[in-house]
Structure 1
């Protein structure tokens, strides 16, 4: 009798193992929403990171062109979450307060181009670490003149799923090169 109970338990366990293996292997990997793209799995992100990173940074710079605090936050929240969202938001709002930008007026900075210079990727499950370098060219205006700026930035960017969407969760700036800061030109009347 014990042998039959043991044999029955082994058969039931075997069925459970086969069912588990079959059900796990038939599941599709999770896809996550991402601004500007169709939803992507981790493997698709690993293949397309060189397209995704510049689009995410461009969204950050579009948010930096905003002067309304709510619009800045909402734009940044499309690509960032957690500490990265907080840091980017506070950096932009701090520039408005400390840099003489008047939120009631038109934006007096404009990004003309953003280009990736280098991006290396590391992957840890569904977390991606992008060691990145990019150049931004734009203008920053003051009351009587404008500066053309061409700054180069380096950062370690962390991307991972947050509430069903790919988001930057780390934005650790490691270098800012302002040697291509440009020249001063007269502002348009």
Structure 2
């Protein structure tokens, strides 16, 4: 082998070794890469674990904004910002199904406040299996009246990087507490 070829081969081997160090997962199963997260910018899995109590409400707020839409493409596009795979399908079908029964022509809900009440998480590499409980206060409209609601929800979520962003890939609603459902008021 010629001296020039040996140098080129050695250089290629060194480059491959460097790339392997940069892109191989760390001992905790994460790559250290940062992914976009609503309300915070890009965060790594380690950072996500530390501030998930801030990011999860931001993800849920995007879902509620999507649910306030009435155009199917806007609903889907908004949901796809924070969800993918099974979660996107589940949430999209939930909203479109609710619209089909009511013949909505305008937004029928408005979120006034949301509060995270509990969050437990198990990390597997860059995926987070979470049990989340949150409370929302808002108004929900029907044909002739509005309800002021203060419901508490619990769900199992899987959140992981998809296409460069943290997204829910699984959403399973496990409990809805409507004991503080509020009162009915006339619609304007």
TM-score of the pair, normalised by structure 2: 0.82
CA contact (8 A) 1:101 1:107 kept: no
Give me the whole-angstrom Cα distance separating, in 1, the residues matched to 2:58 and 2:64: 10
Give me the whole-angstrom Cα distance separating, in 2, the residues matched to 1:151 and 1:22: 49
Give me the whole-angstrom Cα distance separating, in 1, the residues matched to 2:161 and 2:177: 31
Aligned length: 169
Runs ≥4 in structure 1, deviation > 3 angstroms?
19-23, 25-28
TM-score of the pair, normalised by structure 1: 0.82
Structure 1 pair 26/185, CA: closer, same or farther in 2 (3 Å)? closer
Q: Give runs of aligned pairs for residues 14-33 of structure 1, distance below 5 A.
A: 20=17, 24=21, 29-33=32-36
Give me the whole-angstrom Cα distance separating, in 2, the residues matched to 1:22 and 1:141: 55
CA contact (8 A) 1:101 1:108 kept: no
Q: Give runs of aligned pairs for residues 10-159 of structure 1, distance below 5 A.
A: 20=17, 24=21, 29-98=32-101, 100-102=102-104, 105-159=105-159
- RMSD, aligned CA: 2.2
Ranges in structure 2 where 5+ consecutive residues have no aligned partner = 1-12, 25-30
Structure 1 pair 36/183, CA: closer, same or farther in 2 (3 Å)? same
Aligned to 1:5: none
Q: Report the Cα offset of residue 142 of structure 1.
A: 2.2
Give me the whole-angstrom Cα distance separating, in 1, the residues matched to 2:103 and 2:107: 8
